[in-house]
Structure 1
């Protein structure tokens, strides 16, 4: 398969080591591109929910693919998030083409791009971490159940359904949090004179222009690889929101493979409940 050359790719919220992670799909995507720069914008490995009993080969293959890209010339930046905050002790470390940092400022064709995960805006992460961790575990199993339901819907020729998106849309506080998150990031970018502000964290992919009397900035969110399966791509002075479901080369699903995977994950879930 011929690989697409891309100047910059930003992915976030992969959550390797959790049941909800779509590692196989991410590996397929990474295998189709040849980026000059790859930014891993936080929560790539979910250290909060890391279990010795669950880190399958498909997750390891994603790690290997990222390292392969670095060895072949791609500049890789791993920006820390809240679920992989333990890596912050290694911030500013450099290993060849692989760097670890908390935030990043890039020059893109003469414009400033400010990139960071975004958990700094989330009060629950800093003041009630145990609640955030408990919510993360519940979200992981909700996604696992959702995948089972969507597998059944797909076999019946029905469109997939998202439990978490339905919940977010129906809870006014969640809708307001997302809106406030975007506006806060844009306000700081406008104050600092940045042309682009790029985040993750909230699992809501988006590209939107924000402006006021101070000027104009573009807010971008790379989404996640739990539900949305999205990434940000910058090429030839333009941003694009990549969606795995719209990729004609990759969106075909092997339902027998998915059935086996769901069976293994549900078995792991049963063991977890017994313990």
Structure 2
């Protein structure tokens, strides 16, 4: 980005897995990112609030309030903000179609691009066998993940003092474990299958903290990543280009942007089977 003073205008932003309430949430990066990007629509693709961690021990510093207030302020100023709950903020799944301070809650949406392509947008935890069928194991995995994140925090502080760029130990460790790599591949395949069943061109999801865009047997698979490890978001430009923005590779206020293929949008809710619902004004 050549001009950091003026916010960048976008059609749509997709953000997931912020985990507010977790000490690992990079609220400073996200606040800077939101300050420098304006979008007609912001889609929050689940796990924005970490209800699991808040149940274990309450942690809610002012920075968490700042992120919530920033999103509410954008909604008041005319940005359409859609919140698709994930497994960590599943308490919001009891309120589909509800508006909170101008933020809409939806189970999933279909996002239609400027060139007519349709994307299924959902968090993705319903396709995670561990989360669905072995909740105790999911919680145990969550604790192990917390340990990796704690190492992350220490390493990040050391690297920052040495003037080195941000690097995620937890993301690196995850990709060294064969089972984790196999899980990511299987997750991507079944989510792409769900998009195919809904007769759309692609899918945008979160959940596994693995930011990527790729073609899977004719389905454009997009994972928004997270704001715990990778600090990534998917941005849709007014001309229909879709980009994966990585915000943590340099100092806050700068950005590394990776350009990738098209989309653009007007979302509307769908039910669990992918059938269109009438959109409430």
Q: Same fold (TM over 0.5)?
A: yes
Tell me the secondary structure at the aligned position of residue 208 of structure 2.
coil
Q: State the structure with more CA Rg.
A: 1
> Could you report, residue by residue, the CA deviation over 1:110-132 in whole angstroms, capped at 9, with x for unpaired residues?
22111000001111112221221
Give the gaps of 5 or more residues in structure 2.
256-281
- Match of 2:248, SS? helix
**Are 2:245 and 1:242 equivalent residues in the alignment?**
yes
Identify the residue that residue 64 of structure 2 maps to in structure 1.
59
Give CA deviations for 1:88-113 in whole Å, capped at 9, x if unaligned. Answer: 11112135742101101122212211
- Pairs within 5 Å for 1:80-99: 80-95=85-100, 97-99=102-104
Alignment partner of 1:120 is 2:126: yes
Question: What is the match of residue 31 of structure 1?
Answer: 35
Instruction: Give the 3-state SS of the residue equivalent to 1:124 in structure 2.
Output: helix
Q: Which residue of 2 aligns with 1:75?
A: 80
Cα distance between partner residues in 2 of 1:127 and 1:186: 21
- SS of match in other structure, 2:73: helix
CA RMSD of aligned residues (A): 1.9
Q: Report the secondary structure of 1:135's partner residue.
A: helix
CA separation in 1, counterparts of 2:43 and 2:8? Answer: 17
Residue pair 1:105, 1:115 contacting (<8 A) in 2 also: yes
Residue in 2 aligned with 1:200? 206
* DSSP-derived class of the 1:245 partner: coil
- Cα 1:105/1:68, change in 2 over 3 Å: same
TM-score (norm 2): 0.82
Q: Distance in 1 between matches of 2:248 and 2:166?
A: 11
Query: Do the aligned partners of 2:46 and 2:85 also contact (CA within 8 Å) in 1?
Result: yes
Aligned length: 248
**Cα separation, 2, equivalents of 1:153 and 1:18:** 21
State the 4+ residue runs in structure 1 displaced beyond 4 angstroms: 157-161, 246-249
Question: Residues 135-174 of structure 1 correspond to what in structure 2 (within 5 A)?
Answer: 135-158=141-164, 160-174=166-180
In the alignment, structure 1 segments of 5+ residues that lack a partner are: 253-275
Contact 1:19 1:140 in 2 (8 A): no
Q: Deviations over 1:59-111 (max 9, x none)?
A: 11000000001000000000010000111111121357421011011222122
Query: Match of 1:49, SS?
Result: helix
